[in-house]
Amino acid sequence: MTAIVESERPRAAALPAHLGIRFHRVRVRDLSVTASLSLFESMRQVAAAAVRSDLGDSSWLEERWRARWLEFRGLTTFTAYAGNQLVGFMWVTHRTVSPLNFVQLQAAYILPEFQGQGVGFALNARMFFREIAFQPRRSTFIIADVVSPIALHGWRSRARLSGSFYPVIHDDGPVPTVLRSAACQAAREFYGDARFNPSTGVLHERTAPRPQSYRWSGDGQVDRYFRDLVSAQDGDACLVVMRPRPVEVICNTDRVLGAVRRLARKPAAGDIPPQVARKEVSGE
């Protein structure tokens, strides 16, 4: 598979900054050290802004950020740019634990002013399309540890694209045995430092302690799940497991391409995120 690699500096988009989103797939090991460091720092700024908006405090994340540098060099990254500004990204890595194949989502963050604009969906859709539709003979599980109700709601609401979803939340119905087994195996192999509860899908003590100040998703079932079971102060996270079917991903290609095209076009003034519009008007 041919990778799309970022240049030393992201090329300026044909549209002015903030008026169009461009998506890239980056193999970080193909970048120079200088370009990798620049991208890594830009990602730190995006992640810190997203975490501050969601949880009120990003110190727990930033304290450990630089320790991820060596890990970062081996990852595949999906990025979203508005002009020359990085506005969102997703890190993934491939793991095989015979006989199962995993695509592990290591991190995903969107700048607060670009959240709710479809950027997260487009990044996820590109990841699904590249990592699943291009591997039709392989059965692959997508896994992620989630610390935000909004993120869990987003993943769960896209379950139609993936075909199956873990954990079960309230009225979702029974979990297929293969998904539950994959969750247990993923917890052992990739999150061994956390205590895993397969009945709830909670990874206890997965992260450093975080502020207990969730920004709620508006999905009553998801918000109740986090409120009752996921303790931020104890560093808990939710283990998400999906088993996308290549045929379903391919059948949803129109949604993938439609999301990317919609974000890449020049929007009307009313489409510009309000925070960005205020900055442009004020000249900041």
Most confident of 8-12, 202-206, 211-215, 250-254: 202-206
pLDDT at 227: 93
Nearest to 89 by CA among 5, 24, 181, 33: 24
Confidence band of 6 (pLDDT split at 50, 70, 90) = very low
Q: Is the pLDDT at 281 greater than 60, yes or no?
A: no
pLDDT at 266: 46
pLDDT digits (tens, 9 = 90+) for 10-49: 333 333 333 478 888 888 888 898 999 899 999 999 998 9
- Ordered DSSP codes for 131-165: IIIT-TTS-EEEEEEE--HHHHHHHHHTHHHHS-E
Nearest to 103 by CA among 114, 112, 113, 90: 90
Gap between the Cα atoms of 249 and 51, Å rounded: 30
Most confident of 169-183, 200-214, 224-238: 224-238
Gap between the Cα atoms of 163 and 103, Å rounded: 16
Q: Is the pLDDT at 273 greater than 50, yes or no?
A: no
Strand partners, 141: 102
Domain boundaries, the chain: 1-137+253-268, 140-242
Gap between the Cα atoms of 147 and 206, Å rounded: 9
Strand, coil or helix: 58? coil
Strand partners, 145: 239
CB atoms within 10 A of CB 254: 8
pLDDT at 5: 26
Q: Is the pLDDT at 188 greater than 90, yes or no?
A: yes
pTM of the model: 0.72
Amino acid at 179: L
Q: Could you tell me which residues come within 8 angstroms of residue 104 by beta carbon, excluding any fewer than 6 positions away? A: 92, 93, 94, 95, 143, 144, 186, 190
Fold of 1-137+253-268: Aminopeptidase (3.40.630)
CB atoms within 10 A of CB 277: 15
pLDDT at 203: 97
Amino acid at 214: Y
**Contact predicate 91/105, CB 8 Å:** yes
Confidence band of 70 (pLDDT split at 50, 70, 90) = confident
